[in-house]
């Protein structure tokens, strides 16, 4: 296990808690992380658990032919590879962005590496904040940006091969903001 996070004076982790784990975890990790992070001022704890599903995702560029070979088949497991030091650094930068954007400092991002069988958890996110909007926004931003920017690569494993999944990594959230604006039709509010 590699990661960061420190205990505060109250004995609770003040966050962020950022880890890459080869060991399996289940949904109980959300309660464990909430217990470590939440303080009496928090009115919201939002947890997200990503699990391996049986249906395939979108293949990475260049993997379309291999993906078509497995069309209609059930995914048996996911395989995650990471550049550990760089992935932790990128997720820490995302946590810093979350603090600046949403004021949320009590955050956890735990991501699996190695094989993750069907139905098992691959990522857990917990965000604690005084108000629910900030906690929801922080959790959503954490998973979206981790998937888009951290050097953690995912392959879907089938009985006779695997397919790498996902888009090329983005370098920053600025690009994500521009992409979101484009999807929303470029709407801008008048002053």
| Span 1-20, average pLDDT | 64
Domain-embedded: residue 52: yes
Would the pTM count as exceeding 0.85? no
Residue 189 Cα distances to 45, 181, 186, angstroms: 31, 12, 10
Check: CB of residue 158 under 8 Å from CB of residue 73.
yes
Q: Would you say residue 153 has pLDDT above 70?
A: yes
pLDDT for residue 15: 72
Under a CB-based contact definition with an 8 Å cutoff, are residues 108 and 5 in contact? yes
Whether residue 175 is contained in a domain is answered as no
Tally the domains of the chain.
1
**Residue entry with tokens 């395939």:** 56
Strand pairing class (121-129; 106-112):
antiparallel
pLDDT above 80 for 108: yes
If pLDDT is split at 50, 70 and 90, which confidence band does 186 have?
very low
User: Which residues, including other chains, have CB under 8 Å from residue 27's CB and lie 6 or more apart?
Assistant: 49, 121
Q: Which CATH number fits the domain that encloses residue 90?
A: 3.90.1170.40
Residue-range definition of the domain harbouring residue 111: 14-167
């Amino acid at each position: 296990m590699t990661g960061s996070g420190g205990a505060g004076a109250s004995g609770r982790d003040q966050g962020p808690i950022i880890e890459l784990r080869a060991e399996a975890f289940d949904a109980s990790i959300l309660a464990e992380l909430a217990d470590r992070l939440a303080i009496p001022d928090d009115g919201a704890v939002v947890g997200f658990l990503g699990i391996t599903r049986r249906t395939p995702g979108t293949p990475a560029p260049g993997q379309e032919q291999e993906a078509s070979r497995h069309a209609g088949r059930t995914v048996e497991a996911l395989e995650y590879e990471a550049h550990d030091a760089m992935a932790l650094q990128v997720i820490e930068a995302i946590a810093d962005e979350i603090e600046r954007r949403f004021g949320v400092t009590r955050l956890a991002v735990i991501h699996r590496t190695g094989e993750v069988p069907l139905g098992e958890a691959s990522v857990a996110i917990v965000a604690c904040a005084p108000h629910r909007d900030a906690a929801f926004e922080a959790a959503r931003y954490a998973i979206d940006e981790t998937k888009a920017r951290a050097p953690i690569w995912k392959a879907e494993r089938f009985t006779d091969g695997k397919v790498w999944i996902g888009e090329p990594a983005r370098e920053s959230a600025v690009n994500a903001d521009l992409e979101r604006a484009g999807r929303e039709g470029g709407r801008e509010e008048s002053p």
